[in-house]
Amino acid sequence: MNLGAFSWDIMMARCHSLGNKSPTMKLLWAPTPYSVIASAVSSKSNAVADPLILSQHACTWRDLQGSTHWENLLNPLHPLLRHEMLRYAEFVTACYKAFDLNPTSKRHLNCKYGKANMLGLVGLEDSGYQVTKYIYATPDINFPIQNRVPRGRWVGYVAISSDDEAVKKLGRRDLLIAFRGTVTNYEWIANLMSSLTPARLDPHNLQPEVKVESGFLSMYTSKERSDKFGLGSCRKQLLSEVSRLVNKYKEEEISITLAGHSMGSALALLLAYDIAELGIADTCDHRDIPLTVFSFFGGPRVGNSGFKKRCEELGVKVLRIVNGNDPVTKLPRILLNENFGLLGKLFAESPWSCSFYSHVGVELALEQSPRSFLDLQSPSWVHDMETYISLLQYPHATQHKRIN
């Protein structure tokens, strides 16, 4: 089913079949179709598990995952895609809710809760997903800060849609990896490293022209120096768990969805590239396992044009949600990159074009409303996760452009 040609009458018929007892009936019959999304993200409902919206996923999920690069779904933003983005945004927000920033706590800079009940304790008890693994990352910083050696910090989790009813409504088994953004000093320093270095993640296919930002690569591939708990690198943890789950559910319809905010968006894209390059999502019967990155939100540039080209060749789908006023989306090398971009394709084929950063995928640009313009005085506000979610909830606040 192509969402670009999706008839709202079908949705209305579905709503009518629920009967007048449905708490959202009045909203659904409002003049604008976006009202169903407004109800789904209100404080009185849960966007992750809204039954009316999820009932449409079984026949449309491949379009929502970017099978056609979200063609005809972004301008205007389709209600089902808006809901899907908000649904995954809640999983990313869960990382912040569960992250322990209390310096006196035994779980300081780790997750506050155990895997079995984490989603429930952050308000996602009805999500239909189960956390299977926590993920830790360690920036490889060569100089001490506050006389401390960098240790592995909790950056996110792996989850699987485990509830049978949720799987049925989603139309597939969804393997989800969610990442938080930058919090600690070490992470900020790693983020500020702006040198490009060859990724070389596949030892059998080094591809020296594929380069990524050294700080993000460090976060992804470095392991804790003390290795006190036997933790491998963030990369090792992730690839092991993704491989295990793909193999476990290899007989089913599967999707792999990666979502992150800020630094988490960079880690998500590196993981997606790694999975695709290594062929972990390939099945023995050649069924297509969609590999999708929802860059929630304010994701920085991760690699060069060679990295962008290789991601496209491998079929990695990326939807970037961007606040046009957020400077982080223009990092690293904001001045050099922006000025280079003005020259367009004139130097695109030059030998030194690989030294510049390139965004990957399709961009959904969020526009600030005039009412909130004064809030732009705070740089942290324009990059905040909650700011992005608030902007995403309003149909008039969005537009899109394709990244070339």
Angstrom distance (rounded) from CA 172 to CA 272: 19
Angstrom distance (rounded) from CA 246 to CA 226: 31
- Hey, which bits of 153-297 come out as E strands? 153-161, 173-179, 196-198, 211-213, 254-260, 291-295
Residue with tokens 């979200």: 70
Angstrom distance (rounded) from CA 286 to CA 265: 28
Angstrom distance (rounded) from CA 265 to CA 296: 7
**Of 272, 301, 311, which Cα lies nearest the Cα of 289?**
272
Angstrom distance (rounded) from CA 204 to CA 371: 54
DSSP string, 35-96: HHHHHHTSTTS-TTT-HHHHTTGGGTHHHHTTTTTTTTTBTTBPHHHHHHHHHHHHHHHHHH
Q: SS3 for 179?
A: strand
Number of C-beta neighbours around residue 168 at 10 A: 15
**Phi/psi class of residue 207: alpha, beta or left (left: φ > 0; alpha: ψ in -120 to 50)?**
left
**Of 96, 95, 113, which Cα lies nearest the Cα of 105?**
113
Angstrom distance (rounded) from CA 285 to CA 316: 20
Question: Secondary structure of the chain: what % helix, strand, coil (to 5)?
Answer: 40, 15, 40
List CB contacts of 46: < 8 A, sequence separation 6 or more.
90, 123, 124, 126, 127
Which residues are catalytically annotated?
Answer: 262, 326, 383
List CB contacts of 24: < 8 A, sequence separation 6 or more.
15, 36, 39, 45, 52
Helix (H) or strand (E) holding 274: helix 263-278
